[in-house]
């Protein structure tokens, strides 16, 4: 599967590493920080050193940058930056302009997440997902909670041994 | 009329002031408390201190009874989402977005926000109109579609000079609407010969602007 990930924070870096280790073709886009205090290698610091995919420095709402990341042959795009609005703009560009089949945007505000889901943009809110998981563990769905937690912990064990890649 | 202005930066502040002076009712939404207080001191209690990209703030500002919402923050993605939320959740009949990066105009149109204003483009149009050669001017975008009207002057040594309209290599979807020759508006058909000094009006898809430029100037 060809996957474009926009936003290489902790979640983006984690997922990129996971997909890459499973043999998928992953390219990661992260915006150039305007702060000179941030060294260039810090931009992709959350990627594991074994990461074999592409890294593109640029604005994930810019059509040219997305083309460079291979969006035209992407099977999926994940918008995982810190900004809800940027994620929504990026996801809509992928869906409506490039026709990417599977598009998922991280939207922390549950109201915006719901509104855009009704518009056909796949969104998830960290607030409701994490809250639901914790609730399941404490309350009625102990088994569901445990299955998900076991999976998460296994992935975590895989990823934390990877040293940070210097770029 | 009732206007909601999202963002009270320099543009939002002066826009709200101008709308008030023109006798309209205005609410301006600003997330930064200090900026909101400053604008409140200048313009009176028309300021709401809240994030304009949240549905609840838009509801409270009365976007559902507003005649128009204008999103003028410095962040294009935010302006897009503000306009989309107002359109979908509050059914605000008219939404207008400021576009900081002119490349985003076409993106916004594709994503359902027809009315955009790019200060870069406005300035470029003013500058180009002032230039002696006249040159190439996208005059306006046509509401409700991803098309625009372009005016260009036929100059010496350019491909169309002395040729017919049908020989122009315009991109598909573009058409010549008319010609201004020596100050007079003329109908243009395929056989009309273009003369140096003619000002030609072209209707074109906004996305094909650069191809129109190429067809007229080589």
Q: pLDDT tens digits, residue range A73-102?
A: 999 999 999 899 999 999 999 999 999 999
Q: Is residue A133 in a domain?
A: yes
**Average pLDDT of the segment spanning A9-18:** 91
Q: Which residues of B touch A89 (CB under 8 A)?
A: 76-77, 80-81, 107, 111
> Judged by CB atoms within 8 Å, which residues 59-88 of B form the interface with A?
75-78, 80-81, 84-85, 88
A110–B contact, CB cutoff 8 A: no
* Nearest chain A CA: its distance from B102 CA (Å): 11
For residues B104 and B24, membership in a common domain is answered with yes
**Token pair listed for A25:** 């073709």
Q: Is residue B110 in a domain?
A: yes
Q: What was the pLDDT predicted at B154?
A: 87
Q: What whole-number percentage of chain B has pLDDT above 90?
A: 60
Q: Is residue B108 in a domain?
A: yes
DSSP bridge partners of A3: A26, A76
B100-154: pLDDT as tens digits = 988 899 899 999 998 898 888 777 777 766 665 557 878 888 877 888 999 888 8
Q: Give residue B13's Cα distance to chain centre.
A: 19
User: Which CATH number do you get for residue B199?
Assistant: 3.30.70.1450
Going by C-beta distance under 8 Å and a sequence separation of 6 or more, which residues neighbour residue B158?
Answer: B216, B217, B218
Q: Nearest by CB to A89, from B77, B85, B88: name it.
A: B77
**Rounded (5°) CA angle B205-B207-B213:** 85
* Span of A20-24, B91-95, B152-156, B166-170 with lowest mean pLDDT: B152-156
DSSP 3-state assignment of B175? strand
Q: Return d(Cα B136, Cα B150) in angstroms, integer.
A: 7
- Closest Cα partner for A69 from A25, A11, A17, A15? A25
Q: What was the pLDDT predicted at A167?
A: 44
- H/E run at residue B45: none
Q: Is residue A167 in a domain?
A: no
For residues B107 and B198, membership in a common domain is answered with no
Q: What was the pLDDT predicted at A38?
A: 55
Q: Return d(Cα B210, Cα B200) in angstroms, integer.
A: 16
Give whole-number Cα distances, B132 to A87, B3, B200, in Å: 44, 39, 16
For residues B7 and B84, membership in a common domain is answered with yes
**Token pair listed for A56:** 């593109």
User: Which CATH number do you get for residue A77?
Assistant: 3.40.50.720
Q: Which residues of A touch B84 (CB under 8 A)?
A: 88, 119
Residue at a domain's end among B97, B121, B145 = B121
**B33-37, long-range: CB < 8 A, 24+ apart:** B35/B8, B35/B9, B36/B8
Count of domains observed in chain B: 2
Q: Return d(Cα A30, Cα A84) in angstroms, integer.
A: 15
Q: What was the pLDDT predicted at B98?
A: 95
* Span of A18-27, A147-156, B22-31 with lowest mean pLDDT: A147-156
Give whole-number Cα distances, B208 to B113, B150, B204, B211, B215, in Å: 19, 11, 7, 5, 11
Q: What was the pLDDT predicted at A160?
A: 66
Q: Is residue B126 in a domain?
A: no
Mean pLDDT of chain A: 85
- Tell me the residue ranges of DSSP E strands in chain B: 2-6, 25-30, 47-49, 68-71, 95-99, 115-118, 136-142, 147-153, 175-181, 184-186, 199-205
For residues B20 and B112, membership in a common domain is answered with yes
Confidence of residue A41 (pLDDT cuts 50, 70, 90): low
User: Which CATH number do you get for residue B76?
Assistant: 3.40.50.720
For residues B212 and B166, membership in a common domain is answered with yes
pLDDT score of B209 more than 80: yes
With CA atoms as reference, the chain B residue closest to A87 would be B77
pLDDT score of A122 more than 80: yes
Q: What was the pLDDT predicted at A166?
A: 47
- H/E run at residue A30: strand A25-30
Give pTM, 2 decimals.
0.73
Q: What was the pLDDT predicted at B134?
A: 54
For residues B117 and B93, membership in a common domain is answered with yes
Going by C-beta distance under 8 Å and a sequence separation of 6 or more, which residues neighbour residue A3?
Answer: A19, A24, A25, A26, A27, A74, A75, A76, A77, A78
For residues B97 and B19, membership in a common domain is answered with yes
Count of domains observed in chain A: 1
Q: What was the pLDDT predicted at A66?
A: 96
Q: Return d(Cα A21, Cα A162) in angstroms, integer.
A: 12
Q: Nearest by CB to A109, from B54, B80, B104: name it.
A: B54
- Closest Cα partner for A5 from A82, A63, A81? A81
**Average pLDDT of the segment spanning B37-62:** 94
Q: What was the pLDDT predicted at B153?
A: 87
For residues B136 and B155, membership in a common domain is answered with yes
Q: Is residue A166 in a domain?
A: no
**Rounded (5°) CA angle A18-A24-A26:** 80
**Average pLDDT of the segment spanning B7-14:** 94
pLDDT score of A162 more than 80: no
For residues B32 and B102, membership in a common domain is answered with yes
DSSP 3-state assignment of B197? coil
Q: Is residue B142 in a domain?
A: yes
Q: Is residue A28 in a domain?
A: yes
* 8 Å CB contact between B180 and B154: no
For residues B202 and B98, membership in a common domain is answered with no
Pairwise CB contact (< 8 Å): B103 & A62: yes
Q: Which of A87, A89, A93, A94 to mutate to test the interface with B (most CBs of B within 10 A)?
A: A89
With CA atoms as reference, the chain A residue closest to B107 would be A93
A109–B contact, CB cutoff 8 A: yes
> Judged by CB atoms within 8 Å, which residues 116-135 of A form the interface with B?
118-119
* Nearest chain B CA: its distance from A6 CA (Å): 14
* Nearest chain B CA: its distance from A90 CA (Å): 9
Confidence of residue B161 (pLDDT cuts 50, 70, 90): confident
- Closest Cα partner for A148 from A158, A127, A133? A133
Residue at a domain's end among B53, B86, B121 = B121
Query: A130 lies in which domain range?
Result: 2-160
Max intra-chain CA distance, chain A: 49
Q: Is residue B174 in a domain?
A: yes
Pairwise CB contact (< 8 Å): B77 & A119: no
B33-47: pLDDT as tens digits = 999 999 999 999 999
Q: Is residue A165 in a domain?
A: no
For residues B108 and B160, membership in a common domain is answered with no
* Span of A61-70, A117-126, B70-79 with lowest mean pLDDT: A117-126
Query: B207 lies in which domain range?
Result: 131-217
Place of tokens 């916004």: B108
Residue with the bigger pLDDT between A126 and B7: it is B7
Confidence of residue B50 (pLDDT cuts 50, 70, 90): very high
Q: Which residues of B touch A94 (CB under 8 A)?
A: none
Complex ipTM value: 0.81
For residues B114 and B20, membership in a common domain is answered with yes
Q: What was the pLDDT predicted at B131?
A: 63
Q: Which residues of B touch A83 (CB under 8 A)?
A: 77
């Amino acid at each position: 599967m060809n996957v474009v990930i926009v936003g290489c924070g902790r979640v983006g870096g984690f997922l990129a590493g996971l997909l890459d280790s499973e043999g998928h073709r992953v390219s990661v886009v992260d915006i150039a920080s305007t702060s000179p205090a941030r060294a260039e290698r810090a931009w992709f610091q959350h990627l594991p050193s074994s990461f074999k995919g592409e890294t593109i420095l640029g604005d994930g709402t810019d059509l040219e940058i997305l083309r460079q990341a291979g969006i035209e042959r992407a099977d999926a795009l994940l918008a995982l930056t810190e900004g809800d609005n940027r994620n929504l703009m990026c996801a809509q560009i992928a869906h409506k302009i490039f026709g990417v089949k599977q598009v998922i945007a991280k939207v922390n505000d549950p109201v915006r997440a719901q509104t855009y889901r009704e518009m056909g943009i796949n969104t998830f809110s960290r607030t409701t997902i994490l809250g639901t998981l914790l609730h399941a563990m404490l309350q009625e769905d102990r088994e569901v909670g445990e299955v998900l937690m076991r999976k998460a912990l296994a992935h975590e064990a895989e990823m934390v041994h990877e040293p940070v890649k210097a770029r | 009329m009732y206007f909601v202005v999202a963002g009270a930066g320099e543009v939002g502040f002066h826009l709200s002031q101008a709308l008030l002076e023109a006798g309209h009712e205005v609410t301006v939404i600003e997330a930064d408390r200090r900026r909101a207080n400053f604008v409140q001191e200048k313009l009176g209690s028309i300021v709401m201190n809240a994030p304009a990209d949240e549905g609840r703030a838009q509801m409270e500002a009365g976007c559902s009874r507003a005649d128009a919402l204008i999103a003028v923050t410095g962040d294009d993605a935010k302006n897009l989402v503000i306009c989309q939320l107002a359109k979908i959740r509050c059914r605000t009949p008219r939404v207008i977005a400021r576009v900081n990066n002119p490349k985003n105009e076409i993106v916004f149109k594709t994503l359902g926000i027809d009315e955009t204003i790019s200060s870069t483009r406005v300035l470029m149009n003013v500058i180009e109109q002032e230039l002696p050669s006249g040159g190439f001017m996208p005059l306006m975008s046509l509401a409700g579609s991803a098309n625009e009207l372009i005016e260009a002057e036929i100059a010496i040594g350019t491909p169309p000079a002395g040729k017919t309209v049908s020989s122009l290599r315009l991109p598909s979807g573009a058409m010549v609407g008319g010609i201004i020759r020596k100050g007079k508006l003329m109908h243009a058909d395929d056989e009309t010969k273009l003369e140096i000094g003619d000002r030609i009006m072209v209707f074109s898809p906004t996305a094909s602007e650069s191809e129109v430029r190429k067809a007229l100037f080589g």
